[in-house]
């Protein structure tokens, strides 16, 4: 739920290039298999938009290793945001598409940037309306700190200390034409 | 396993209007936004817990000055599924019957801090008048023979769902075009999205001047059926003035009713739509209404999603005005 204010930003540093993104996702895939002692009952839900892309990629890595299909879905958390009554206009909705029963699964929730924790809080509420997983674990590509809720991640691609004046941009080839993660800083006009 | 990561919405436009009054005043992008938002809402009704917290704490008033069951029920369920509180007011049981003016009714409701007014009225323009005087959002649930935007949106959503697109399709609307708000809203919406629309019915109900809406007019039902991708039948509204405009229902059926025989000339892929309630054996034969081409019940399902989307979007649009945007 990073705010996209009208302020302008300029790139400060590249945190991950395409190879680093790929290696990071492979490592997370292995960690997920290790922590869950295999892939029995595993499922993925990625938070729209880029979390959903990452969920597909991590699941594909695991499938390549274990040679078994894993259910993957996408989750739009807009309707569960805690700031809906404070922002205007209402955000554009994307589709929640979880076409498998999540009840009793070991569900891996995936997002691109872990920040205040409010998106994950909304996602947990959304999942509770869809089913009752046996366990929910959180995988994120970037943890930029500044939590406002008591939530932590189980799998972290990269920890990056940031200031509120900065924003982390995750770009993925499916949505942005290339894979990279950059940190941008606010430019005061 | 089917997994689709939804691509970023094809339109970047956001909804900034307080009200949803008709399709005439909406841009192509706004109509597409309503349809894609409704598509996202459709999934919620398939969940074990059919409710999202989006409009928690908002109050919706169904203000129906004309009888309605399906539209009112659809709005009622839609409001409940987005967690809004809802009250129903029907004209016969309200102070309207005691002579209160509409504006006074609205002012009283606003004093109770309601957020969204869903209005149906027999006179064209009443929702527009109310929208001008109210801080609350207004959704037009049908005004006279003027507009019925959520019905046209659910029709378009159904066409998109069944045929994959709207642009380039041929849609024939058959029935009382002159008095139909459903036809009028559909004509605005469908032509904006690039469909070619033909209207058909007896000349008393389909005046040639309808051509000014950018549609083809025909009085020959065979011509309307031929080449059509979508046949949209309208109800013969015998409670309105129509009884004077068609000799009798039997003659209407003979000339304009859709039965198996007539459908032989249609495209094999044609879909049959009807806003309901159907007069079985008048505009539509039972065999067709219940047949493989019929998408009438899909329309009802999509209506719920469209109304959830409309409530969600106008509630955000009202905030835009509050902020002064």
Which residues of chain A are within 8 Å of residue B36 when distances are taken between CB atoms? 92-93
The answer to the question of residue B56 being in a domain is yes
* B13 found inside a domain: no
Query: What pLDDT is stored for residue A6 in this prediction?
Result: 61
Please list every residue in chain A whose beta carbon sits closer than 8 Å to the beta carbon of residue B313. 89-90
A100 at B interface, C-beta within 8 A: yes
pLDDT band per the 50, 70, 90 thresholds, residue B48: confident
The answer on B94 and B35 residing in a single domain is yes
Quote ipTM for the complex: 0.85
Contacts of B51 in chain A (CB under 8 A): 129
CA dihedral sign of residues B164, B167, B170, B175: positive
- Note the residue count of chain A: 189
Domain for residue B185, yes or no? yes
Contact A74/B3, CB-based, under 8 Å? yes
Provide the β-strand partners of residue B171. B197, B230
The yes-or-no verdict on residue B82 having pLDDT over 90 is yes
Q: In Å, how far is B118's CA from the nearest CA of chain A?
A: 19
What mean pLDDT comes out for the span B255-276?
Answer: 95
Nearest to A73 among B3, B40, B325 (CB): B3
Which pLDDT does position A159 carry in this prediction? 97
Q: Are residues B33 and B131 in the same domain?
A: yes
Model confidence band, residue B90 (pLDDT cutoffs 50, 70, 90): confident
Q: CB–CB of B219/B198 below 8 Å?
A: no
Picking from B94-98, B171-175, B219-223, which range would have the lowest pLDDT averaged per residue?
A: B94-98
Read off the CATH number of the domain in which B89 is found: 3.40.50.1370
Number of domains in chain B: 2
CATH 2.60.40.10 assigned to A13-187: no
Does residue B8 surpass a pLDDT of 50?
A: no
Split at pLDDT 50, 70, 90, the class of B27 is: very high
One domain, residues B99 and B118: yes
Confidence of residue B325 (pLDDT cuts 50, 70, 90): very low
Residues 6+ apart with CB under 8 A from A16: A24, A141, A157, A158, A179, A180, A181
Token pair in block for residue B128: 């527009």
Percent of chain B with pLDDT over 70: 92
Q: Mind listing the pLDDT tens digit of every residue in chain A (189 residues)? A: 444 556 789 999 999 999 999 999 999 999 999 999 999 999 999 999 999 999 999 999 999 999 999 999 999 999 999 999 888 899 999 989 999 999 999 999 999 999 999 999 999 999 999 999 999 999 999 999 999 999 999 999 999 999 999 999 999 999 999 999 999 999 876
Chain B contact for A151 (CB, 8 A cutoff): no
- What are the chain A neighbours of B9 within 8 Å (beta carbons)? 92, 94
Percent of chain B with pLDDT over 90: 80
Which of the two residues, B190 and B322, has the higher pLDDT score? B190
Given a cut of 70, whether residue B68 has pLDDT beyond it is yes
Chain A: give the shortest CA distance to residue B169, in Å: 25
Q: State yes or no: pLDDT of B62 exceeds 90.
A: yes
Judge whether B72 lies within some domain: yes
Distance from C-alpha of A94 to C-alpha of B36, rounded to nearest angstrom: 8
Neighbouring residues of A154: CB distance < 8 A, sequence distance ≥ 6: A35, A137, A138, A139
Query: Has residue B312 got a pLDDT over 80?
Result: yes
Would B280 be classed as within a structural domain?
yes
- Residue A177 near chain B (CB below 8 Å): no
CB B55 within 8 A of CB A85: no
Q: Which pTM value belongs to this model?
A: 0.91
Q: Is A56 on the interface with B (CB under 8 A)?
A: yes
Distances (CA, A) of B59 to B51, B83, B94: 16, 9, 18
Question: Does residue B2 sit within a domain?
Answer: no
The answer to whether position B41 is within a domain reads yes
Q: Is B274 exposed, middle or buried (0-12, 13-18, 19+ CB in 10 A)?
A: buried
Closest-CA distance, A140 to chain B, in angstroms, reads: 17
Residues B162-179, mean pLDDT to the nearest whole number? 96
Note whether B129 and B38 are same-domain residues: yes
Nearest to A152 by CA among A110, A123, A114: A114
A–B interface: beta-carbon pairs under 8 A = 109
Minimum distance, in Å, between the CA of residue A149 and any CA atom of chain B:
19
Average pLDDT over residues B117-135: 96
Cα separation of B176 and B240, whole Å? 11
B291 and B306 inside one domain: no
Q: Is the pLDDT of residue B7 over 50?
A: no
Judge if B215 and B283 occupy the same domain.
yes
On chain B, the residues whose CB falls within 8 A of the CB of A52 are 5-6
Residue B249 has what pLDDT?
85
Burial class (CB in 10 A: 0-12, 13-18, 19+), B149: buried
Identify the contact set of chain B against chain A, taking CB-CB distances under 8 A.
Answer: 1-9, 12, 14-16, 33, 36-37, 39-41, 43-44, 47-49, 51-54, 57, 82, 309, 312-313, 315-317, 319-320, 322-323, 325
Residue span of the structural domain in which B313 resides: 28-148+301-323
A155-159 β-sheet, strand order: A72-75, A42-47, A106-114, A135-143, A155-159
- Whether residue B216 sits in one domain with residue B128: no
Q: Is A67 helix (H, G, I), strand (E, B) or coil?
A: coil
Task: State how far the Cα of B109 lies from the Cα of A135, in Å rounded to an integer.
Answer: 46
Q: What average pLDDT does this structure show over B249-254?
A: 89
Q: Are residues B176 and B159 both part of a single domain?
A: yes
Residue B130: inside a domain = yes
Q: Are residues B252 and B226 in the same domain?
A: yes
Average pLDDT of chain B? 91
Q: Do residues B170 and B136 share a domain?
A: no
Instruction: Name the residue among A144, A55, A170 with its Cα closest to residue A107.
Output: A55
Token output for A64: 């390549």
Tell whether A76 is within 8 A of chain B (Cβ). yes
The whole-number pLDDT of residue B5 equals 37
Confidence at B322, pLDDT banded by 50, 70, 90: low
- Judge whether residue B258 has pLDDT over 90: yes
């Amino acid at each position: 739920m990073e705010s996209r204010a009208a302020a302008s930003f300029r790139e400060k540093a590249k945190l991950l290039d395409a190879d680093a993104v790929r290696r990071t996702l492979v490592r997370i895939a292995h960690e997920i298999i290790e922590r869950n002692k295999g892939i029995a009952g595993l499922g993925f839900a990625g938070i729209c938009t880029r979390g959903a892309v990452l969920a597909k990629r991590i699941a594909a890595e695991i499938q390549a290793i274990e040679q078994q299909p894993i259910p993957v879905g996408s989750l739009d958390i807009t309707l569960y945001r805690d700031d809906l009554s404070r922002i205007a206009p209402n955000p554009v909705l994307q589709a929640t598409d979880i076409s498998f029963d999540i009840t009793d699964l070991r569900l891996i929730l995936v997002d691109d940037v872990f920040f205040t924790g409010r998106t994950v809080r909304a996602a947990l509420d959304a999942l509770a309306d869809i089913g009752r997983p046996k366990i929910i674990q959180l995988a994120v590509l970037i943890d930029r700190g500044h939590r406002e809720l008591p939530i932590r991640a189980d799998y972290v691609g990269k920890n990056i200390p940031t200031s509120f004046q900065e924003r982390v941009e995750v770009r993925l080839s499916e949505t942005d034409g290339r894979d990279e993660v950059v940190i941008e800083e606010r430019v005061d006009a | 396993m089917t997994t689709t990561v939804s691509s970023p919405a094809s339109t970047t436009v956001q909804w900034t209007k307080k009200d949803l009054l008709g399709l005439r005043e909406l841009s192509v992008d706004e109509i597409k936004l309503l349809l894609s938002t409704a598509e996202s809402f459709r999934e919620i009704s398939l969940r074990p817990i059919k409710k999202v917290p989006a409009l928690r704490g908002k109050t919706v008033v169904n203000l129906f000055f004309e009888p309605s069951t399906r539209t009112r029920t659809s709005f009622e369920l839609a409001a409940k599924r987005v967690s809004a509180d809802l009250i129903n007011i029907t004209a016969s049981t309200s102070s309207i019957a005691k002579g209160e003016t509409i504006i006074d009714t609205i002012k009283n409701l606003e004093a109770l801090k309601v957020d969204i007014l869903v209005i149906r009225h027999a006179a064209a323009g009443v929702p527009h008048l109310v929208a001008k005087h109210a801080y609350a959002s207004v959704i037009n649930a049908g005004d006279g023979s003027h507009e019925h935007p959520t019905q046209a949106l659910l029709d378009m959503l159904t066409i998109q769902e069944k045929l994959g697109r709207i642009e380039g399709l041929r849609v024939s609307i058959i029935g009382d075009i002159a008095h139909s708000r459903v036809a009028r809203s559909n004509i605005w919406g469908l032509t904006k999205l690039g469909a070619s629309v033909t209207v058909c019915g007896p000349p008393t109900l389909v005046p040639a001047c309808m051509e000014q809406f950018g549609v083809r007019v025909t009085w020959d039902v065979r011509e309307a059926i031929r080449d059509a991708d979508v046949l949209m039948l309208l109800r013969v509204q015998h409670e309105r003035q129509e009884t004077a405009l068609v000799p009798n229902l039997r003659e209407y059926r003979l000339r304009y009713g859709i039965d198996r025989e007539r459908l032989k000339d249609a495209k094999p892929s044609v879909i049959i739509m009807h806003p309901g309630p159907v007069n079985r054996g008048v505009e539509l034969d039972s065999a067709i209404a219940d047949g493989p081409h019929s998408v009438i019940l899909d329309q009802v399902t999509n209506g719920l999603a469209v109304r959830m989307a409309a409530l969600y979007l106008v509630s955000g649009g009202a905030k835009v005005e509050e902020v002064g945007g």
